[in-house]
Each structure stands twice: as structure tokens, then as C-alpha cells.
Amino acid sequence: MAERATNTGAGELHALLAEFDDVDAVSGAARALRDAGYRRFEVYSPFPIHGIERSMGLSPTRLPWIALGAGLTGTSLALFFQWWTNAVDYPFKISGKPLFGIPANIPVTFEFTVLLASFGAFFGMLILNRLPEHHRPVFENPRFRRATDDGFFLAVEVDDPRFDPRATRALLEQHTRRPLEECRDSGQTRELPGSVRAALVSVAALGLLPLAGVVWARSQDSSRPPIHVVNDMDSQPRYRAQAANPVFSDGRAMRSDALGTQAFGELPRPGTITTGKQGDAWTESFPVPVTPAFLARGRERFAIYCTPCHGQSGYGDGLVALRAAELQEQNWVQPSSLHDPLVRARPVGQLFDTVVNGVRTMPAYGRQIPREDAWAVVAYVRALQRSQNAAQADVPPTERAKLGAQ
């Protein structure tokens, strides 16, 4: 029984579809169309046919250039951003490396080049092939299903400038004995079905939600601590100040220097300046000249090292102390008020010793604070004590006049 065309659809003619017996036949037809000047036709086969692009007269693909361009864009963007963020916008020295050290930037540059080149190749391929294409009228032809199995097809589209219903048909019939099919537009459109479109739109809208959340959060002020998704340095396996540690016999977690050891860079210099003592007694006078610059230094160091516990004005109400009170820490010992008569009565040598070696529950700061600075801190503590316990006579006359005016 002779084969019969199974023409489908009733709408406008979309393409003329021809079936062939084998690769040679379909390639021959493609060559004939190419030589006749046709451009808009497609060959469908179950497997890739070597050389079909030449038979069809397709020009070599531009895809490699797109991939190269995208790759080079990746290279330059990655280098630019790393240079901008590390060396310009937020310069930050890391382990003595140059702010913009090429070796450190190569891995990111490499990955980004590969990423954009692959994007270029993948999306470039889709765009050059005008994909994704949801539907073509040839798909509706029942014979065409064999294109994924053992059928070789060629479809000439109507919008080819050379297309002529009779002439094209005659040309194709020279190459195949099988009946030609007319593929017509049926009701099925080339557009995506409404349900799919709705789904895509809602997914895209949902995808915007996190972004919207970020924008909202950034416009808001909050006094609560931020949510930490990654707990990096928030919870560390460390001991808090004054915490107990059963490992040591004295039960203290904060260790003082081991007996007989010397901190790096610190030469033993016996004398008042390193011990705070004159003979066996605490010195009452400063072993270094006290100048305004020295006091300023002391004020700065005090602000850094002492205020967290003792507070700006030395009443023992620093932030750490306030926090400890808020948390109702069991073992917390309130930092002394520096204006306590007892503390005020201490000789400067003893205050110096307190800073360097600590006292009772107060940790030693000799590690962080060089000796000269410790004296500066003590000088500032003295100034602070004086300021909080001053008589009117202590205020300079000019300032006194201002006070009187108020």
C-alpha cells in the first residue's frame, strides 16, 4: 500500500515536510536546496550527521567568539572588582601582602572567566538557535515522530524568500519517493501555554521576595543584635574575663605570666620605672616627667584599656561592668571606683603595679601596655581623681568666671 500524506492542521501553511530513506538522500536534498538559494529550512535526523552544516550551507558558527568575548569580560570584571574592593574602596592589609597582589586574585579571576565563558557558550547557543522554542507545526505531524527514531526529515519553511508552493514541492520530490506533508498552523500557538506562563511569573515573583526582604531590612533601624546565619566569631570556645577554670590550681581562667618568664621585647630594667618601688616602698612620685603630651597619651591609653570596666570617669561603671550587672553574673566582682578614698590614697607606684600586674580579680595589663604608657595611664588616673574631688579653688580663675556666669 502506498504511503499517504497525513497533512494536519487547517490554518496557514507553515512548512513543507519531506521524509527521506537515509542520510545520503537527506544530505542530497539539502545540497539541492542550498544550491537553489534556500535559507530557511531545517534537517531533522535521529543522530548528528557529519557535514550536514556544509550541505545546508550554514556559515560557521559565531559561538566561539561569543564565548571568548564573555570569557574576557569575566577576566576583566573579576580583576577590576578585586582591585576596586581590595585596593581602592576598602584597603585592608592582609598578612603583609600587597593590597592588590595578582597571585591572590588569580583563582577568582580564573573561576569568573570560566563561568562567564560557559554562560556565553550556553546562552549564546540558545540565542543563536532561537531556543527555547515551545512549539513548531511540524511536531503535529504523526509521521514526524520518527525523527527521533529512524526517520530523516527536511522542512522548508514558507517564509523562505525562495519558497514557491509548486517549485519547492517539485524540487523536493526529485529527492524522495515519499509523499510530502504540508504542515499548517493549527490552533496550537507557538507561545507558552497560560498555565506555564503563570507558573513562571509566580516563581520569578517569589524569587524577588528575599531581595525585597533585604531592601526592607536595610531601610530599618533595629536595636536587636543582627541575626547571624553563620556564627563565625560570635560564639567562640573561649573563657570570659574572671571566669573560673578548674584546670589550674588557682582556678583562674585568665593567666598571668608564668613565673620567671619575660615578655618578648621587654628587657629587665630593675628600678622604679619598671617596678613602681623605691626601695621596698611604693613610690609617691613619678619616675618620668609628666607633661601635657604625656597626660594626653595616658588619657588615650586609659580610654582603650581601662574604660571598658572602670568607665570614662572611673566610677567602675564601664560597659563590661554594666553588661555583667544586666546578666546578673554570679561571680562578677564590681570594678573598683577609682575615686574610692582607699584607691585615692594609694601611692602612684602601687597604681602602676595594679596596671602592670593586676590586682585580685583585675587582670594584668603589663602585656599590652608598655611601662612608659602605664605611667602615663597612672598620671591620667591621678588627674581623673583630682577632677572628681576638686575644690573651687582648684578651678583656674578664667574658668571660674565662666562658671559664675552660669
Partner 1 sequence: MSAPHTESAPRQGDQVLGPRAGRWATPALAVGVLGLAAALGLGWQRGDGFSRLQHSWLVACAFFLTLSLGGLFFVIIQHLTRAGWSVVVRRVAELVAANTAVVALLFAPLVLGVLLSNDGLYPWADAERVHGNPLLSAKAAFLDPRFFAARCIVYFAVWWLLGRWLLARSTEQDRVSGPEPTLALERRSAPAMAAFALSLNFAGFDLIMSVNPTWYSTIFGVYIFGGSVMSFFAAAVLALRFLQSRGFLTREVSVEHYHDLGKFLFAFVFFWGYIAFSQFMLIWYADLPEETFWFKTRMEGPWAAVSWVLLFGHFVLPFLGLLSRHAKRRLALLTLWAVWLLAMHAVDLFWLVMPSAETSGVLVSPMDLASFAAVGGFWIFSLLRLARGRSLLPVGDPRLPQSLAFENF
Q: Which of partner 1, ligand HEC, none does 64 bind, CB closer than 5 to 8 A by kind? A: partner 1
Q: Which does 183 bind (CB under 5 to 8 A by kind): ligand HEC, partner 1, none?
A: none
Query: Should residue 207 be labelled a site residue for partner 1 when binding is judged by CB under 8 A?
Result: no
CB-CB contact of 38 with 47 (8 Å): no
Cα(53)–Cα(235) distance, integer angstroms: 63
For 305-345, the DSSP string reads HTHHHH-TTSSS--HHHHHHHHHT-TTPPPPPPTTSHHHHT
Burial of 319-349, coded b for 16+ CB within 10 Å and e otherwise, reads ebbeebeeeeeeebeebbbbbeeebbebbbb
What is the distance between the alpha carbons of residues 105 and 110, in angstroms, rounded to a whole number? 9
Question: Is residue 95 part of the contact set for partner 1 (CB under 8 A)?
Answer: yes
26 interacts with ligand HEC by CB under 6 A:
no
What pairs with residue 155 in β-bridges? Answer: 17, 42
Choose the contact partner of 97 out of partner 1, ligand HEC, none; CB within 5 to 8 A by kind: partner 1
- Asked if 336 is part of the footprint of ligand HEC (rule: CB under 6 A), the reply reads yes
Q: CB–CB of 302/380 below 8 Å? A: yes
Complex with partner 1: residue 68 or 263, whichever CB lies closer: 68
Cα–Cα nearest to 7, from 157, 136, 137: 137
> If DSSP codes are grouped into helix, strand and coil, which group holds residue 190?
coil
* Among 91, 107, 193, 271, interactor with partner 1 by CB under 8 A: 107
**What are the start-end ranges of the H helices in 219-364?**
272-275, 292-305, 307-310, 319-327, 341-344, 348-357
Q: Which helix (H) or strand (E) holds 63?
A: helix 63-83
Binding site partner of 333, from ligand HEC, partner 1, none, Cβ cut-off 5-8 A by kind: ligand HEC
Find which of ligand HEC, partner 1, none residue 343 binds, CB within 5 to 8 Å per kind.
ligand HEC
Identity at 380, one-letter amino acid code: Y
What are the φ and ψ backbone dihedral angles of 131, each rounded to 5 degrees? -110, 160
Instruction: Write down the least CB distance from residue 66 to partner 1, Å.
Output: 14
| Contact of 201 with 25, CB cutoff 8 Å | no
Q: How far apart are CA 277 and CA 159, in angstroms?
A: 104
What stretch of H or E contains 35?
helix 23-35
Identify what 48 binds: partner 1, ligand HEC, none; CB under 5 to 8 Å per kind: partner 1
Tell me how far apart the terminal alpha carbons of the chain are, to the nearest angstrom.
120
Which own/partner pairs from 45-53 qualify as long-range (CB within 8 Å, at least 24 positions apart)? Answer: 45/147, 45/151, 45/152, 45/153, 46/147, 46/148, 46/149, 46/150, 46/151, 46/152, 49/23, 51/27, 52/27
CB nearer to partner 1: pick between 107 and 271 = 107
Grid cell digits, residue 109 = 579571576
Q: Could you say which residues in the range 364-393 bind ligand HEC, by CB under 6 A?
A: 365, 377, 381
Interior/surface letters 174-185, b for 16+ CB within 10 angstroms, e for the rest: ebbebebbbbbb
- From ligand HEC, partner 1, none, interface partner of 355 (C-beta below 5 to 8 A by class): ligand HEC
For position 96 contacting partner 1 by CB under 8 A, the verdict is yes
Q: Which is nearer to partner 1, 82 or 337 (CB)?
A: 82
Binding partner of residue 272 among ligand HEC, partner 1, none, CB cut-off 5 to 8 Å per kind: none
Among 186, 357, 361, 388, indicate the residue that binds ligand HEC (CB under 6 A): 361
Q: Site mask, partner 1, residues 363-392, x = CB under 8 A?
A: ------------------------------
Q: Which partner, partner 1, ligand HEC, none, binds residue 310 by CB below 5 to 8 Å per kind?
A: ligand HEC
Binding of ligand HEC by 263 (CB under 6 A): no
Which of ligand HEC, partner 1, none lies near 161, with the C-beta cut-off 5 to 8 A by kind? none
Write down the least CB distance from residue 50 to partner 1, Å: 5
Residue in 1, 2, 4, 48 binding partner 1, rule: CB under 8 A: 48
228 binds partner 1 (CB under 8 A): no
**CA torsion through residues 241, 242, 244, 247, sign:** positive
Q: How far is the CB of 92 from partner 1 (least distance, A)?
A: 16
Q: Does 68 bind ligand HEC (CB under 6 A)?
A: no
Nearer to ligand HEC, 154 or 324 (CB): 324
Residues that bind ligand HEC in the complex, under the rule CB under 6 A: 241, 305-306, 308-310, 320, 333, 335-336, 338, 343, 346, 351, 354-355, 359-363, 365, 377, 381
Residues that bind partner 1 in the complex, under the rule CB under 8 A: 48, 50-51, 64, 68, 95-97, 101, 103-104, 106-107
